Structure 1
Amino acid sequence: MKKSLLILALVTASASPVFAQSSVTLYGVVDDGINYTNNTGGHHNFEMASGYGYGSRWGLKGTEDLGGGLKTIFTLENGFDLNSGRANQGGRMFGRQALVGVAHDNYGSITLGRQYDSVVDFLAPTTANGNWAGFLFAHPYDNDNTDNSFRVSNSVKYTSPNLGGFKFGGLYGFSNAAGQFANNRAMSIGASYVGGPVTIGAAYMDVDNIGMGSTGAVAANDASFFASNQREFGVGINYKISQATLGFVYTHSRIENPTGNGYLTPPNFPAGISVHSLTFDNFEFNAQYYFTPTFFAGAMYTYTSGRYDASNGSSKPKWNMFGLVADYYLSKRTDVYVQAVYQKVSASTGTFLDTAYISGADNSSSTNKQVVARIGMKHLF
């Protein structure tokens, strides 16, 4: 009896339990600098500004191998302002991303939570602002969300695996409002192709009652515009030639019945006027050149043709934007950069659109021109 118990104990002790492999990674970006604006509400301004080259953040991402090519994935990502310590994205703890789901090597992933839309996933990487330049280079008022001004809450998203350089996906964000299924819901689809020197991205997004309320797909403290509908589509292409990358992007945005804008402080958005619609057609040309593996320069020109239809008439404002950036890497994780953006608005409308406003400035100019220059530093961890 004792001999049998001893053998059982030895066998039990030598057995190797099988557990699924899992990992959790802490990561982040710290970006800070000094901005100079030549005209903000009629005055020039020097200010400390965090996250303009690349949004300051910290996050946790993890996986658990379930076997057979299937795994559980999650991401929790917080955006913050380095200079004040406050949380960005409306004060949310994990305002940049908060998602959980499953992924398969052959079939792609399905994730649930607060996530990036298809414009950000597939189209934005072909723009200057969504790739190597940052916030200041966004199209006027980030009207197409290529600068990721808002995320989509209550969303389910599918992303395909890489199919020979081709990827596609789609997202649906629920309103979470009982009896109001279409009240602040979002949907988007997109695709991209990366092959040799060519990168192509395209996307479409539609959001109903954007910015209405605090619990929908795109809440009031998250939206760029507050409107009954925001719809946009676009396509972009980058072509690499030796150390240079050339890009062209076209996007179209239409905002129905807008009542406000998240970037503009009152009374900049018109009071007592019913705005029926705003449309923006953005044409961006960008170029990036690596002089050495640790130093690059970039340039962007964007022409935006708009249309304003309201109870006080119609007009067609135009925006011309020029941007330059130079970036030097002190190491693989740390770089310093300088950048400047100029914007001019033409075709006077007699509305809030007459005054220049570069996304990231603390207010619009008192004229139709504005310049913002920045020197900054970024560290990855």
Structure 2
Amino acid sequence: MRKIVLGGVVAVTAVTVHAQSSVTLYGIVDVGLSYVNSAQTGKVGQHLNGASQIALTDAHATGLSGSRWGLRGQENLGGDLNAIFVLENGFMVNSGALAQGGAEFGRQAYVGLSSTSAGSVIAGRQYDPVVFSLQQFSAPYWAGYMSAHIGDIDNLANTNRINNSVKYVTPNFGGLQAGALYSLGGVAGNETQNQIWSLGVNYNGSALSLGAGYLNARNPNVSFYGNTPNKGLATVNNIGSSGSATTPQASPAFAGYASANTLEIMGVGASYVLSQTTISAVVTNTRFEGLGSASGPNPFGYSGNAIFTNAELGVRTMITPTLLAGVAFDYTERNSVKSDGGAKYMQLDFAVDYNLSKRTDLYALAVMQRATGRDSLSQPAVATISGFSPSATDKQLGLRIGIRHKF
């Protein structure tokens, strides 16, 4: 009899725990055919070689949503308090390889506590408050990663996550919400080296939405750009590269600024909904400050600050309940560094997305970009659409058709 009673208690307890806890498996698979009219293949001396390219690629660089799978869990700890966690892995559906530089849970990995009345505190690898506050106003929100601002200079397309971080997000007060993050550098004897801190606030109303965000990263070549398994230490350029005779350049618009002591990203955004149409605008300022520090290599001998100002205006509309179309114009300007005259980039983004069901959609994307001036690699500026190899010239066209399934 005692064994029967004990077994019943265990069974009831198990049911209760199950009722108070949940773990959800979720994911996205997004693959498509991408075309770019000019992609660098290498350089001979100062001459850049390039050619057109057609490839079947995962969406992590050019599509709507990088392929991923994840686990999301919650346990009720009594009353309004819950323990929460997320483990999210990015992968390349065309090859099966890990994304995010080979990190197993490179998209997100955190655990924390959450309450509807007090907000949430989470610790691990996660998005910063600038993304939380401003991404919804930028083209990558609806037109994919290839619509990001030159190499995702302001991180509104989530290229870089924050390691070793603690974040607090307030409750939602009638559409108003704020967040604060601090990432510990973990360097013995120097508490500020490699540290990152960020703040963000947004308001989402029935028609009008507003947002503002700020991020400050010390030694960004290591702390911000070097936080995945395939990245190196301060002696290596973790932002990009100058290329070689057989390899393309990477992030030429700002790869030359790896020696910056501090990275600052700040911005404001707004959107307004008119029936089925949303008009959005976002302005960001990205600053590589204190060039010439020991944070990274400085082959061009830069000093001072490199400052990128970016402005975007976008319009998207639901033509039918299942068909979205949108267009955005983006303008980026950089100041003169070492008397190089600066650089300018103009970009047009187009997107069409058709929902076959609530989980599956087909889409087509197009991005056109033109560059003028001189870029960070001390060369005539080349176009550099996010997700593609930079152009061998000052112009570039990127196209993609894809299919996305959510589960």
Normalising by structure 1, we get a TM-score of: 0.89
> 8 Å contact 2:208–2:272 — kept in the other structure?
yes
C-alpha spacing 1:343/1:258, structure 2 compared with 1 (3 Å) = farther
| Aligned residues of 2:217 and 2:224 also touching (Cα < 8 A) | no
For residues 244 and 108 of structure 1, the distance between their equivalents in structure 2, rounded to whole angstroms, comes to 32
SS of alignment partner, residue 365 of structure 1: coil
Match for residue 252 of structure 1 among 285, 306, 329: 285
Question: 2:224 & 2:309 partners in 1: Cα distance?
Answer: 29
Contact 2:327 2:351 in 1 (8 A): yes
Asked if 2 retains the 8 angstrom alpha-carbon contact of 1:176 and 1:215, the reply is no
Q: 1:58 aligns with which of 69, 76, 80?
A: 69
Shift of 1:218: 7.8
1:220-267, Cα deviation, whole Å (9 max, x unpaired): 8396563321101001111000110000100001012568xxxxxxxx
1:93-242 matched pairs, under 5 angstroms? 93-129=104-140, 131-212=141-222, 221=231, 224=239, 226=258, 227-242=260-275
User: In structure 2, how many angstroms separate the alpha carbons of the residues matched to 1:140 and 1:208?
Assistant: 22
Return the alpha-carbon distance in structure 1 between the equivalents of residues 91 and 228 of structure 2. Answer: 19
- Give the secondary structure class of the aligned counterpart of 1:124: helix
Return the match for 2:393 from 363, 367, 378: 367
Amino acid at match of 1:360: G
Match of 1:357 in 2: 384
The answer as to whether partners of 2:196 and 2:223 remain within 8 angstroms in 1 is no
Distance 1:281 1:218 in 2: 27
Give how far 1:347 is off: 3.5
Letter of the 1:49 counterpart: T
Partner of 1:78 in structure 2? 89
CA shift digits 1:323-372 (9 cap, x unpaired): 111111111111111111000112456924611111111x2112111110
Larger CA deviation: 220-229 vs 51-60: 220-229
2:162/2:224 contact within 8 Å kept: no
Asked whether 1:30 is paired with 2:41, we answer no
Q: What is the rounded CA distance, in whole Å, between the counterparts of 1:181 and 1:207 in structure 2?
A: 13
**Structure 2 match to 1:44:** 52
Aligned residue for 1:354, secondary structure, equals: coil
Structure-1 separation of matches of 2:79 and 2:303: 55
Change (3 A) 1:351 1:154: same
Kindly indicate whether residue 311 of structure 2 is the aligned counterpart of residue 283 of structure 1.
yes
Change (3 A) 1:122 1:219: farther
CA distance in 2, matches of 1:345, 1:38: 15
Q: Which runs of 5+ in 2 are unaligned?
A: 41-49, 233-237, 240-254
Q: Are the counterparts in 2 of residues 151 and 218 from structure 1 also a CA contact under 8 Å?
A: no
Higher strand proportion, which one?
Answer: 1
SS in structure 2 of the partner of residue 158 of structure 1: strand
- Which AA in structure 1 matches 2:33? I
Return 31-40 or 11-20, whichever deviates more.
11-20
In structure 2, the CA distance between the partners of 1:344 and 1:189, relative to structure 1 (3 Å rule), is same
Q: CA deviation at 1:124?
A: 1.0
3-state secondary structure, aligned to 1:314: coil
Counterpart contact for 1:177–1:183, Cα < 8 Å: yes
**Does the 8 Å contact 1:210/1:219 carry over to 2?**
no
Q: Secondary structure at the match of 2:222?
A: coil
- Answering whether residue 321 of structure 2 is matched by residue 293 of structure 1, we say yes
Counterpart contact for 1:89–1:221, Cα < 8 Å: no
State which drifts further: 341-350 or 232-241.
341-350
Q: 1:333 to 1:307 in 2, by over 3 A?
A: same
TM-score by length of 2: 0.83
Report the alpha carbon displacement of residue 72 of structure 1 after superposing the two structures with TM: 0.1
CA distance in structure 2 between the partners assigned to 1:256 and 1:219 by the alignment: 26
Change (3 A) 1:351 1:67: same
Q: Report deviation, 1:216.
A: 7.6
Note if contact 2:139-2:349 (Cα within 8 Å) is conserved in structure 1: no
1:179 CA displacement: 1.7
Partners of 1:11 and 1:134 lie apart in 2 by 58
Equivalent-residue separation in structure 2 for 1:367 and 1:84 (angstroms)? 30
Partner-residue secondary structure (3-state), 2:340: strand
Displacement, 1:273?
3.6
Higher RCO structure (Cα 8 Å, ≥6 apart)? 2
Distance in 2 between residues matched to 1:159 and 1:176, nearest whole Å: 23
Q: Which runs of 4+ in 1 moved over 4 A?
A: 8-16, 213-220, 222-225
Aligned pair count? 363
Aligned to 1:120, the other structure's residue is in SS state helix
Contact 1:321 1:341 in 2 (8 A): yes
Q: Which of residues 330, 339, 362 in structure 2 aligns to 1:336? A: 362
Q: Name the SS of the counterpart of 1:335 in structure 2.
A: strand
Q: Which amino acid aligns with 2:275?
A: S
Structure 1 vs Structure 2 CA RMSD: 2.5
Contact 2:73 2:85 in 1 (8 A): yes
